[in-house]
Structure 1
Amino acid sequence: MLTKTEKHFSILFFVIVLIELLIGSLESFQSLHYFAKPAIVLSLILFFVKASKSLSKFIKNLTLLALIFSLFGDILLMFVDKSPHFFTFGLVSFLIAHIMYIMVFLKHRNRSMSFIGFMIFLLIYAVGLFYLLKDGLGDMLVPVIIYMLVILSMSTSAYLRRAKVENVSYYLVLFGAVLFMISDSILALNKFYQTIPMSNFSIMITYALAQYLIILGILKITVTNSKV
């Protein structure tokens, strides 16, 4: 399924992720965290630019914007201990990234496909999550609700690609979108509900996998459908 270039990049990518996870668990190397964490998405940006030459300009540009705003979000969230505003700006950056992904995914929307069942499942999940978060949100109540609606829309738009792209592209993107939702859920629970053991590890693993799978899935469109 993976090309030679994709295999080589995958090794490099997960080495970077592993380095970030190791740095996160060693206090004496915390300063390297400011380089390792952004390197995860930065490596995806460089890989995508190189591998996306046959993609349409629409998909390529919006995907790049999603990655760039994700990178901004990563950087901003590293400074939340300096000011709560960094968390808000980081939230906005990721919200924009999700909107870019939504636009990319909807490019291949299957208009004859019903999303009601999937959306009901996501809403049940979101209501349960919100129930746990609501008492700790304070001034972040409205921003978090907006963010939750956007990420639910992102997962739904990924779901709606079925039968419009090949299965490998469809499932990579869908699994990536769901993992993104899980990563953000863990982050929210850890910040607004209660401390989760090894939260940094679980957030980073799910986040890195989410971005990796989404980008790989988008790139697979070039293999399966040259008209996009």
Structure 2
Amino acid sequence: MSAKQLKTVFLLFLGCSFLQLFGVGFGYAPLIKFTKPLLMPLLALYWWGASGGMNEGLRRLLAVGLLFAAVGDTLLLFDGQTSFFLAGMGAFFLMQLCYIAAFWGLSRGRQGLLVRRPYVLLLLLAFYGLLVWELWPGLGGGMQVPVLVYGLAIMSMAAAAIHLYGILDHRSFRLLVGGALWFIVSDSLLALNRFTSDKMDYEAVPFIIMFTYLLAQTLIVVALIHWKQVGQKG
């Protein structure tokens, strides 16, 4: 894919993101339903075109992960029904597994941060525990296990990103970890908004959830492309 084509695809992604956020911000359902299924396929296409020459396993894992995210996005358009919400969560769970495999693959044979400082995991586990404690009273109808498992998956994804300290260059690492942490913020807000008894009754919450989700996905992709551009050196 040429540089001009890559730029066009990325601009299309940014345009769809803007329209999605506009639709969410103003509660315009037709615009939300039209643009949401397009977001991650466009980002996946950009990733595939920009990541040529990188490890094929990494390229495929991230691309497949983004496509699972597209499936999840589409299913969550119908999240008024528990079955669709669970299916969407399942798609995002598979996305997280792809990201975990991709990030851990980058550290293969090299000593990452968690080997040197395993106590960093305690921070993620503490946040996970607090979040589950807050959500638990509102988790009914068979949602306990799916939420617990998905929560472990996203925390593992963040841990795999943090583990790459000293393996990726500093800028790529900051972008990647930023993406992972914004993902936690987005999904935590979504869960709190859906499952807590005193739901966050703020009009801005859906906008913030979508904005942080798009920011997270974009930062993850941009981080790995930047790592490629600087020569894939730690």
Q: TM-score, normalised by structure 1?
A: 0.90
Q: Distance in 2 between matches of 1:104 and 1:150?
A: 14
Q: Structure 1 vs Structure 2: percent identity of aligned residues?
A: 31
Residue 183 of structure 1 deviates from its aligned partner by 0.5
Paired with 1:11 and 1:218, the residues of 2 have a C-alpha distance of 19
Structure 1 residue 68 and structure 2 residue 70: aligned? no
Q: 1:147 to 1:26 in 2, by over 3 A?
A: same
Question: Contact 1:165/1:224 (CA < 8 Å) preserved in 2?
Answer: no
Task: Spell out the pairing of 1:51-66 with structure 2 (5 A cutoff).
Answer: 51-66=50-65
Bigger shift: 61-70 or 9-18?
A: 9-18
How many Å apart are 1:161 and its aligned residue?
0.6
Is residue 112–residue 167 contact of structure 2 (8 Å, CA) maintained in 1? no
What residue in structure 1 maps to residue 19 of structure 2? 19
- Confirm or deny: 8 A CA contact 1:166 1:221 kept in the other structure: yes
TM superposition shift of 1:7 = 7.0
Moved more, 102-111 or 119-128: 102-111
Aligned to 2:171: 168
Distance (Å, rounded) in 1 between the aligned partners of 2:18 and 2:25: 11
The aligned counterpart of 2:154 is 151
Partner of residue 94, structure 1: 92
Which amino acid counterpart does residue 96 of structure 1 have in structure 2?
L
Does 1:137 find its partner at 2:139?
Answer: yes
- Change over 3 Å in CA distance of 1:226–1:154 after alignment to 2: closer
Equivalent position of 2:120 in the other structure: 118
In 1, Cα distance between equivalents of 2:67 and 2:112: 32
Please state how far the C-alpha of 1:99 moved relative to its aligned partner.
Answer: 0.7
Alignment partners' CA distance in 2, 1:135 and 1:16: 37
User: What are the Cα deviations for residues 6-40 of structure 1, in whole angstroms up to 9, with x where unaligned?
Assistant: 7766554333222112112334x412211211222
Structure 1 unmatched runs, 5+? none
1:107-130 deviation per Cα after TM superposition (whole angstroms, max 9, x unaligned): 222425334232111111111111
Give the aligned partner of residue 127 of structure 1. 129
Which residue identity lines up with residue 85 of structure 1 in the other structure?
A: S
User: Are 2:184 and 1:195 equivalent residues in the alignment?
Assistant: no
Judged with a 3 Å threshold, the aligned counterparts in structure 2 of structure 1 residues 21 and 148 are, in CA distance, closer, same or farther, namely same
Confirm or deny: 8 A CA contact 2:62 2:98 kept in the other structure. yes
* Separation (CA, whole Å) in 1 of partners of 2:216 and 2:119: 23
Is the aligned partner of 1:204 residue 2:206?
Answer: no
1:176-191 aligned at under 5 Å gives the runs 176-191=179-194
Q: Secondary structure at the match of 2:119?
A: helix
- Matches of 1:118 and 1:168, distance apart in 2: 20
Equivalents in 2 of 1:212, 1:80: separation in Å? 24
Contact 1:169 1:218 in 2 (8 A): yes
Return the alpha-carbon distance in structure 2 between the equivalents of residues 171 and 120 of structure 1. 20
**Alignment CA distance shift 1:26-1:127 (3 Å):** same
Whether 2:202 is the aligned partner of 1:225: answer: no
Q: Which amino acid aligns with 1:140?
A: M
Gap runs ≥5 in structure 2: none
If the length of structure 2 is used for normalisation, what is the TM-score? Answer: 0.88
Question: What RMSD over aligned residues (CA atoms) do the two structures have, in Å?
Answer: 2.2
Moved more, 88-97 or 40-49: 40-49
